[in-house]
Amino acid sequence: MEKGKKLIVEDLTISFRQTQGLVRAVRGVSFELNEGETLAIVGESGSGKSVTSRAIMGILAGNGVIDKGRIIYEDQDLTKISEENFHKIRGNQIGMIFQDPLSSLNPIMRIGKQVTEGMIVNGKRLKNRYKSLIHRSLMEIYNAKYERRDLKETYRREKKDLKQALKAQLQGEKVPEQQQESRLKQGADAQALKKEAAQRLQALSEQFKKDMERNKKRIKDANVAIGPKKVEARKTVKQEWHAKKQETKKELAELRKKLSGADNETKKAVRKEISDTKEQLRRFKKVTKKEAVERALKVMDEVGIPEPRRRLRQYPFQFSGGMRQRIVIAIALTADPDILICDEPTTALDVTIQAQILELINNLKEERNLTVIFITHDLGVVANMADRIAVMYAGKIVEIGTADEVFYDARHPYTWALMSSVPDLTTHERLLSIPGTPPNMLFPPQGDAFADRSQYAMKIDYELEPPMFKISNTHYAATWLLHPKAPKVEMPEILKKRIKTMTEGTGEVTSG
Amino acid sequence: MSRKTRKLKKATPPEPLQEGDNREIVLSVRHLRQYFKSGFGRNKLVIPAVDDINFDIYKGEVFSLVGESGCGKTTTGRTIIKLYQPTGGEVFFLGKRIGGGPFELKEKIREARRETRHKVAELREKMNEDIKEAGDNANRVEAIKKDYQKQMDAAVEEKQKIVDELKEEIRARKKDTADENYKLMKKMQMIFQDPIASLNPRMTVKEIIAEGLRIGGEKKDKVIAQKVNEVLETVGLLPEHASRYPHEFSGGQRQRIGIARALVVSPNFIIADEPISALDVSIQAQVINLLNDLRDEFGITIMFIAHDLSVVEYFSDRIGVMYYGKLVELAPKDELFKNPLHPYTRSLLSAVPLPDPNYEKGRKRVRYNPSMHNYENDLPKLHEIKKNHFVYANNAELEEHKQRLKD
């Protein structure tokens, strides 16, 4: 993995099984996430932006299938790793803030419990220590198992391909010549073909058997190898625990000696020290409730919730919308993630509160050096947050570039349409609305998905899917308009005018 | 005369707020209050959702109410169209009073009673003093007593007269509110926020749109079908959509159905309660353009309730800013964006994100803290600070605002 890259998504394809058929929600999305940047994903509802982020978190709905593609985080492919391994990443390393703060909090659980829950569940320190000691051996087993799965898959696929190729060849020879005289020869040809195919099949299956045998041995070896490692790890952890316990016992004994014959003031102090020492011992074993609450208070203070100690005892309904969203952010932050995925965190809020939350996320990003994926359909919010922008339509990224490039030099007709359909504080002419509705992803359109709603559609748009054309090193767009042979088109007048006023720097538009 | 047979006085529409403006007024709202009560006894809570607001809406204009959620803008709209009984104030529509509440009149009655009580008590004290001075002179004491009694009776009588008048006014307002004047009220229609929740899923589009006509007494199927088709075409749907059910439409189309339902009775005035905030970005422009066309074509007056300031700026002529039940600023659009005076308006304007990264980098948010006002001695009021520009402030703040206006 290249340095400075936090996350790489490659050719991700996701579909949902439904009774009517497969809904192709995401169709080949690729992007990279650099460390410390904010990537905004923009698009209307149903364009697949939320599905992409949910796939990164590994929380796709039950009927969702990742057909193709890889999500690489810290040299691991998140589409392949097991659920147990995902537990370590989800929340701890990649956090998520959901759209609706009301429905993402449990209404009958006090806020305190909801904020501390994650820390307490993940906070069995001795167990975690034990797991980290045997992690390498465990990974070996998992890798061997993944290898088995891959082997099986490739074998099945190759077999199928071979059979299909044979069938095609046989049919292809039968159809053109049906004369009597060639029949014999043809039969001989077919025979030869069949024979050859059978041989190759044989070879394939033998190879597969060999590979499986080797893999079986690998799994067995790994399983055998882990036994002593486990024993050793358990021993180490136990020793550490005992050492800590002994140490604490000694300390306690010393402290207790101080108790006899002391006056009340010192007694009080010493007693407090004793309880602290005991707490330290408990904390060595796991994250105690007290510790979790302390951390929760700190984080709640950080996200700007006044009087956090009183607030801990309250229920979600006692909070306003903005406060609720802050709680959700606090929950995501308690685990100290490096990547934060914000799925439309301000759509349910109104302007003033939205401004507060955006400010908060920006500040947190700077303080904690977070990398953020920000999903929204509000272009104003995007302009505020994003370093880079990816515009999605019908399960594909149609344009990606830095914020300035996308806002001031957009190339895709969909980006134009999206930008000119929202009024800003200087618009006075008729808005350009996008006619029609997004395509039904049960039957993904051929060619450019936006062609039906675009006034710039050419014939090729209905036939062939446009590739990503490079505009600059960071700016790419998928539209045939960028092809050298395409006719020259200009972006809509309204947008041109707006970009002109923007680049001239009309900062006086009521900055208050 | 018995109470029932007595004819109640007809209310006359109030003087316009903006002097020297001769445009026709469609709707005027005076001292409108809407209080919600919850709980009983110790837990009783009165929430002033709308608290003493005044505005006029002129013919053919788009008047917008903006503010954060919970500031009472939707409640104002719903009270105007009589979905709620107003607690106090009056609503005049096309020159007739359509609703009113007794709140401030009741206050006045209470005050009159209190004043009289004080007056009588004072008189009694004076009388006692005079009696003491008079000493044993029985005749004089009698005369003093008679004199004071007369004064007291006069005060009480005067009070009774005021109270009777006020009570009459309360009765008149009650009657106007209860009056189901269909012909007048069908000139006012509402478009609701959520196009999914506001359409009955068991009715076809035709039934939904025709409901208003049927309530109005239209019985001929032919006429109804024709009118429904006409209005469907106006909002950009096809006549064959009439036989479908709401779930078969997309969000933008559903909102068009909601607009068609409002339009079918040919109203003069439409209250649009956040008609686009539940819609997708690309669909929002369709609905805004449609509303704009309707205004140009039919000259419909629109009261637009929203929290998205860039849409409001694009769409409306005059803007009222609300904060916790109070109308804090009221001005023509250009004036408001050029000269935002009330600190809340400034904070609201500074919170709007624009699709322009350069501007966003430099944007600084102004915070508004309601405790910055000192309203203890100097009570605030809606002042006309400049022609057609109203701001809610007390005298000290007014001076400050005036200075700001200059530069």
| pLDDT, tens only, A142-187 | 888 888 888 888 888 888 888 888 888 777 655 555 555 555 566 6
ipTM of the complex: 0.76
CB atoms within 10 A of CB A300: 26
- The reply to whether residue A358 touches residue B353, judged by beta carbons under 8 angstroms, is yes
Place of tokens 């099986």: A152
Residue A101 pLDDT greater than 80, yes or no: no
CB atoms within 10 A of CB B358: 19
Any chain B CB within 8 A of the CB of A253? no
Q: In the numeric block, which tokens belong to residue B361?
A: 């980098």
Residue A323 pLDDT greater than 90, yes or no: no
Count how many residues are written for chain B.
407
Give the pLDDT band (50/70/90) at residue A508.
very low
SS3 state at A64: strand
Would you tell me the crossing angle of helices A289-302 and A321-334 to the nearest 10 degrees?
Answer: 130
Give the pLDDT band (50/70/90) at residue A496.
confident
b/e per residue B2-17 (b: at least 16 CB within 10 A):
eeeeeeeeebebbeeb
Any chain B CB within 8 A of the CB of A350? yes
pLDDT for res A173:
58
pLDDT for res B16:
81
Residues contacting residue A368 through CB under 8 Å, at least 6 positions apart: A333, A336
Place of tokens 């005018």: A497
pLDDT for res B406:
60
pLDDT for res A501:
78
Q: Which of A8-12, A260-264, B87-91 has the lowest mean pLDDT?
A: A260-264
Any chain A CB within 8 A of the CB of B72? no
Q: Reading across the β-sheet that carries B45-58, which strands appear in turn? A: B45-58, B25-38, B88-93, B96-102
**Residue B354: CA count within 13 A, CB half-sphere:** 29
Q: How far apart are CA B94 and CA B37, in angstroms?
A: 31
Any chain B CB within 8 A of the CB of A45? yes
Q: How far apart are CA A452 and CA A46, in angstroms?
A: 17
204-243 in B: which are within 8 Å (CB) of A? none
The helices-and-strands tally (H runs, E runs) of chain B is: 13, 12
Q: Which of A238-252, A392-406, A440-454, B323-337 has the lowest mean pLDDT?
A: A440-454
pLDDT for res A512:
36
Size of interface A-B (CB pairs under 8 A): 138
Q: What is the DSSP string of B12-25?
A: PPPPPSSTT--SPE
Question: Domain B25-100+186-315 has what CATH class?
Answer: alpha beta
- The reply to whether residue A503 touches residue B352, judged by beta carbons under 8 angstroms, is no
Q: In the numeric block, which tokens belong to residue A507?
A: 């900062």
pLDDT tens digits along A331-366 = 988 888 999 999 888 877 778 888 888 888 888 898
Q: How far apart are CA A113 and CA A296, in angstroms?
A: 10
- The reply to whether residue B282 touches residue A404, judged by beta carbons under 8 angstroms, is no
Alpha-carbon Rg for chain B in angstroms: 27
Q: What percent of chain A has pLDDT over 90?
A: 20
Residue A425 pLDDT greater than 80, yes or no: no
Of A125-139, A200-214, A249-263, A432-446, the range with the highest mean pLDDT is A200-214
291-310 in A: which are within 8 Å (CB) of B? none
A407: which chain B residues are within 8 Å (Cβ-Cβ)? 355-357
Average pLDDT value over all residues in chain B: 87
Nearest residue of B to residue A376 by CA position? B281
Fill in the amino acid letter for A36: G
What's the mean pLDDT in A430-458? Answer: 82
DSSP β-bridge partners for residue A31? A9
Q: Which of A452-461, B274-283, B319-328 has the lowest mean pLDDT?
A: B274-283
Give the pLDDT band (50/70/90) at residue B28.
very high
- HEC string of A379-421 equals HHHHHHHCCEEEEEECCEEEEEEEHHHHHHCCCCHHHHHHHHC
Q: What is the DSSP string of B224-249?
A: HHHHHHHHHHHTT--GGGGGS-GGGS
Nearest residue of B to residue A43 by CA position? B281
CB atoms within 10 A of CB A418: 26
pLDDT for res B403:
85
* Helical (H) or strand (E) element with A278: helix A264-285
- The reply to whether residue B357 touches residue A419, judged by beta carbons under 8 angstroms, is no
Instruction: Look up residue A373 and give its DSSP letter.
Output: E
pTM value > 0.90: no
Residue A510 pLDDT greater than 70, yes or no: no
Residue A188 pLDDT greater than 80, yes or no: no
- Pick the residue with more confidence: B310 or A94? A94
How far does CA B305 lie from the centroid of its chain? 12
Residue A381 near residue A354 (C-beta atoms within 8 A): yes
Q: How far apart are CA A221 and CA B65, in angstroms?
A: 73
What's the mean pLDDT in A48-57? Answer: 90
Q: Reading across the β-sheet that carries B389-393, which strands appear in turn? A: B188-191, B269-273, B301-306, B62-66, B318-323, B326-332, B389-393, B381-386
pLDDT for res A184:
58
What's the mean pLDDT in B153-175? Answer: 91
pLDDT for res B257:
92
pLDDT for res B121:
93
DSSP β-bridge partners for residue B97? B92
Count how many residues are written for chain A.
512
Instruction: Look up residue A487 and give its DSSP letter.
Output: P
Residue A486 pLDDT greater than 50, yes or no: yes
b/e per residue B44-55 (b: at least 16 CB within 10 A):
eeeeebbbbbbb
SS3 state at B382: strand
Evaluate the CA torsion angle A459, A464, A465, A467 in order and state its sign: negative
Place of tokens 């446009």: A466
Residue A17 pLDDT greater than 70, yes or no: yes
Residues contacting residue A100 through CB under 8 Å, at least 6 positions apart: A348
- The reply to whether residue A431 touches residue B351, judged by beta carbons under 8 angstroms, is no
Residue A73 near residue A449 (C-beta atoms within 8 A): no
Residue B407 pLDDT greater than 70, yes or no: no
Place of tokens 């709680």: A327
What's the mean pLDDT in B317-329? Answer: 91
Residue B260 pLDDT greater than 50, yes or no: yes
pLDDT for res A255:
86
Q: What is the DSSP string of A113-129?
A: HHHHHHHHHH-BHHHHH
239-298 in B: which are within 8 Å (CB) of A? 250, 252, 280-286, 288-289, 292
Q: Which of A291-295, B67-71, B169-173, B337-341 has the lowest mean pLDDT?
A: B67-71
A388: which chain B residues are within 8 Å (Cβ-Cβ)? none
Question: β-pairing, B318-323 with B326-332?
Answer: antiparallel
pLDDT for res B1:
46
Q: How far apart are CA B30 and CA B14, in angstroms?
A: 8
Q: What are the sequence ranges of the domains in chain B? A: 25-100+186-315, 104-184, 337-404
Instruction: Look up residue A54 and give its DSSP letter.
Output: H
Give the pLDDT band (50/70/90) at residue B14.
confident
Interface test with B, best of A102, A344, A350, A454 (most B CBs within 10 A): A350
SS3 state at B342: coil
pLDDT for res A40:
94
pLDDT for res A39:
94
A322: which chain B residues are within 8 Å (Cβ-Cβ)? none
CA A338-A343-A344 angle, 5° bins = 130
pLDDT for res A511:
38
pLDDT for res A92:
86
pLDDT for res B157:
93
Average pLDDT value over all residues in chain A: 85
How far does CA A112 lie from the centroid of its chain? 27
Q: Which of A164-173, B166-175, B361-370, B396-405 has the lowest mean pLDDT?
A: A164-173
b/e per residue A425-455 (b: at least 16 CB within 10 A):
bbbeeebbbbeebbbebeebbebbbbbbbbe
What's the mean pLDDT in B144-148? Answer: 88
64-123 in A: which are within 8 Å (CB) of B? none
pLDDT for res B350:
87
Residue B55 near residue B310 (C-beta atoms within 8 A): no
What's the mean pLDDT in B140-162? Answer: 90
Instruction: Look up residue A131 and give its DSSP letter.
Output: H
What's the mean pLDDT in B366-371? Answer: 84
Q: Which of A288-302, A492-506, B139-153, B300-314 has the lowest mean pLDDT?
A: A492-506
Give the pLDDT band (50/70/90) at residue B209.
very high
pLDDT for res A21:
84
Residue A81 pLDDT greater than 80, yes or no: yes
Evaluate the CA torsion angle B274, B277, B281, B282 in order and state its sign: negative
Q: What percent of chain B has pLDDT over 70?
A: 98
pLDDT for res B191:
92
What's the mean pLDDT in B311-337? Answer: 90
